[in-house]
Amino acid sequence: MTDIQKKTKLLNFQGKSFIVKCFRCELMEYQDFITYEPEQICIVKEQFKFDLVTDPKYTHILIALRERPLPIKDLVDEYNKIADKPRKQTSIYNYLQELIKQGLVMKAGQRVITGKTASEVLYSRRAILYYPVILSEDFWKTEESKNVLEKCQQLLSLYTDSEPFKIDDLSSFFMNIYSKSEVIVAEIFEKDPDSVNKLCSDLDFEQIDKLTRMLETLVILLNPQNYVESLKELKMLDNIKR
């Protein structure tokens, strides 16, 4: 749909501010009363939220809402332009509700269409950009981590030609180094969100995830003093081949 005329103004009503966007097009005239302004950055720290924003079913909604808030009908149209396989409005609405439940999408106001009494709910991304910083402490306490740690234990034993490290010791070691590095990376993103957004606005979520992992590695290498004691407790340095 092509807009013939679009105006934006700020309206204050009963102490509340609304951004009002007025549209005229060939098919209808409507006003968007926008009551939510996206945050600059949303730090995604929980694994289940990370899983949502990396799942194409949900990611397509976030991409569709990148430019501006949309009602469900427009969102479905934009979603199906992005998706490889078109989906019904019911399915997309269910995905949307899960994103709202997890605080990744927000209700952003109302669309009022000329000649209609009922308004439509507008939906917006919670933030302009989402950054994955999955705090490791929770992961290393799960059953899922045990399988990963067992493989790591055996591979390290092959490399060092020594007895395998204890699983609990490995878990404590990784929890220590990653929890510290992830906190520092989160601080980097939150320190100057405007600059971060300008630098990373052309990256998709997977690229931002790779960037985050690179930063975590650099943070570990640049702060060896934070991890020397953990290495000593694990006796890893004694076991590595000279």
Low-confidence stretches of the chain (pLDDT < 70) are: 1-28, 134-139, 235-242
Q: What is the model's pLDDT at position 1?
A: 40
Which residues partner with 13 through β-bridges?
A: 16
Task: Report the mean per-residue pLDDT for the chain.
Answer: 80
CA distance linking residue 208 with residue 81, whole number of Å: 23
Contacts of 75 (CB under 8 A, 6+ apart): 61, 64, 65, 92, 96, 123
Q: Are the CB atoms for 35 and 16 separated by under 8 Å?
A: yes
Compute φ and ψ for 142, nearest 5 degrees. Answer: -95, 165
| 43-65 pLDDT tens trace | 887 878 888 888 889 999 999 99
Q: Tokens for 92?
A: 């997309």
What is each CA distance from 134 to 20, 219, 228, in whole angstroms?
37, 15, 23
Query: What is the DSSP secondary structure assignment for residue 88, as one 8-state letter?
Result: -
Burial class (CB in 10 A: 0-12, 13-18, 19+), 98: middle
| 113-136 pLDDT tens trace | 888 888 999 999 999 888 877 655
Contacts of 15 (CB under 8 A, 6+ apart): none
Q: Please state whether the predicted TM-score (pTM) of the whole model is above 0.85.
A: no
